[in-house]
Chain A
Amino acid sequence: DIVMTQSPDSLAVSLGERATISCKSSQSVLYRSNNKNYLTWYQQKPGQPPKVLIYWASTRKSGVPDRFSGSGSGTDFTLTISSLQAEDVAVYYCQQYYSTPYTFGQGTKLEIK
C-alpha cells in the first residue's frame, strides 16, 4: 500500500495569512505515460462529506476559490491557501488514486489563530 503522510496534524493561522499543508507519499504517484500525479486534495467540514479542491496535484476544481493551490510531483505535495478566510476552517486530506488500495493522509485540522 502507498502510505500518505500529512504534516502538520493541526495548524492555526491568522485570517488573511497563508496556510501550507504538506503531503508525502511512500512511493511516486506520477504516471509517466501522461505526466500526471494522481493526487487529490479534499476539504471536509463538520457533518459534511469531503469535497474535492485540487486534483492531478495542481488542477483546481471548477468553482474552488483561487486562493487554494496545489503543487508538487512524485512523492512530495503541498496545498496552499494564500489568504485564509473564516470559511476555510476544516480538515484537509490528501489522497492518492495512483494504485489500489487508494489511500488517504491522516488529515490536517486547520483553525483560525
Chain B
Amino acid sequence: QLQLQESGPGLVKPSETLSLTCSVSGGSVSSSSYYWGWIRQPPGKGLQWIGSINYSGSTYYNPSLKSRVTISVDTSKNQLSLKLSSVTAADTAVYYCVRRSAAGHDYWGQGTLVTVSS
C-alpha cells in the first residue's frame, strides 16, 4: 500500500525558505506511470495545486508561485521535496504531498501545517 509522509519545520519566518520532504513507501518516485507533487490548503480554505514532477525530472509549476517554487526528487531515498522561497503569512497552509495518476490525485499524505510567522 502506497504511503506518503511529509516532514519539515512547522514554523518558518517571513522572507525565509520553506523546505519540506515527502517520504514515499510502497511505491517508487521513479515510476514512469505517475507524477508526484504538492498541494496546499490554507486553514479553513480551499485547495491550491503547487506543482508536479515526473520520473524524468520534468517539472510543472503553478504560475502564481513559479518564481518561488522548486520541486525535486531524490530517487536514492525515494523522496520528494518542496522549496518555497520568500514566504509570507499568505503561505501559511497545510502542505500535502500527492501522487497523480490517470485517476487524478489518488494518493495524499496526511499533510503538514506550516505557519509563517516571526
Interface on A for B, CB 8 Å cutoff?
A: 1, 38, 40, 42, 48-52, 55-56, 59, 61, 93, 95, 97, 100-107
Contact = CB atoms under 8 A, between A and B. Distances in A.
What's the dominant secondary structure at chain A's contact region? loop
B104 A104 contact: no
Interface in B58-109: 60-64, 96, 100, 102-106, 108-109
B62 A97 contact: no
Contacts, number: 56
A101 B46 contact: no
Nearest to A59: B103
B49 A103 contact: yes
B105 A95 contact: yes
A104 B64 CA distance: 15
Contacts of A105: 46
